[in-house]
Amino acid sequence: MKNLKVRLKNGEALNGCWLNLGSSLTAEIVGQAGFDWVLIDLEHGSGNEKDALLQLQALQASSTGAIIRVESNDKRRIQRALDMGAEGIMCPQIETPADAEKVIDGLYYAPDGKRGVAKMVRATSFGKNFDSYRTKSKENILGVIQIETTEALNHLDEIAALEGVDVLFVGPSDLSMSLGIFGQLDHPKYISALKAIIAAANKAGKAVGILLFNPDDYKTYYDMGIRLIACGSDATFVSQGALKMAESLNSQKA
């Protein structure tokens, strides 16, 4: 474990990025780059669960923690990702306390949740460390709830107050789409929603996260109190690097 949950509770800012390509090689490269965490994306990314396992193995030797975004709050999806060794789960499109409670059920063993018990899994070193893993799972596993809709904004205090919800994570594209102002992240309606999310998290003693589209915006959101911050993805890094190199070579050819 890379202690993501403990570090967030201590107020540390944790910088991360997305892994969209389903590649263990780009995961290894990104893991060596110096990020605190990465998000292995099973909602919109190209990879599947087997690819996620290989990515987790590629990240093992690095200091970078791995969160997996599952595609739904189905307990089976959540516990499979945790059994593979994810340090946290991000769940998209959570709109009500009942939605969030289903996530919590998958995160924790009884009596805190309803996670199924399997000892011979990668997370427990295939049974070698099961007792320690089970005992410390509540203090180590990070529960990240994505706030992406106007309906979710109606239940912020209730969602944030749930034990097991550690982070309210803003999905800028989906949230601005739901607000009817897609991509207008300086619009008063979006700013008001963002402030409401931060206020609810602060009231409950929880952290806030966000995906940035421009690293120059980092200080703005940090100063607002956001501490789980992501920017970029392996797909972006490869695409931008390839475009820059091609443009450089082509300009010299011309």
Tens of pLDDT, residue by residue over 113-162, are: 999 999 999 999 999 999 999 999 999 999 999 999 999 999 999 999 99
Side chain identity, residue 108: Y
Query: For tokens 């967030």, what's the residue?
Result: 8
Does the active-site annotation cover 44? yes
CB burial of 151-175 (b: ≥16 within 10 Å; e: otherwise) equals: ebbebbeebbebebbbbbbbbbebb
Predicted local confidence at residue 132, as pLDDT = 96
- DSSP letter at 117 equals P
Q: Which two tokens stand for residue 240?
A: 């931008």
Close Cβ partners of 106 (under 8 Å, ≥ 6 residues apart) = 73, 74, 75, 76, 77, 78, 79, 82, 89, 113, 114, 115
Catalytic residue among 44, 50, 76, 128: 44
Over its C-alpha atoms, the chain yields an Rg (Å, rounded) of: 18
Query: For tokens 């969602």, what's the residue?
Result: 159
Does residue 62 carry a pLDDT above 90?
Answer: yes
Does residue 107 carry a pLDDT above 90?
Answer: yes
Q: Are 165 and 205 in contact (CB under 8 A)?
A: no
CATH 3.90.180.10 fits 13-253, yes or no: no
Look over the chain and give the mean of its residue pLDDT values, rounded to a whole number.
97
Calpha distance 227→15 (Å, rounded): 8
Predicted local confidence at residue 1, as pLDDT = 79
State the DSSP H helix or E strand holding residue 102, giving kind and residue range, or none if neither.
helix 97-107
Predicted local confidence at residue 88, as pLDDT = 98
Does residue 32 carry a pLDDT above 90?
Answer: yes
Condensed to tens digits (0 to 9), the pLDDT of residues 188-202 reads 999 999 999 999 999
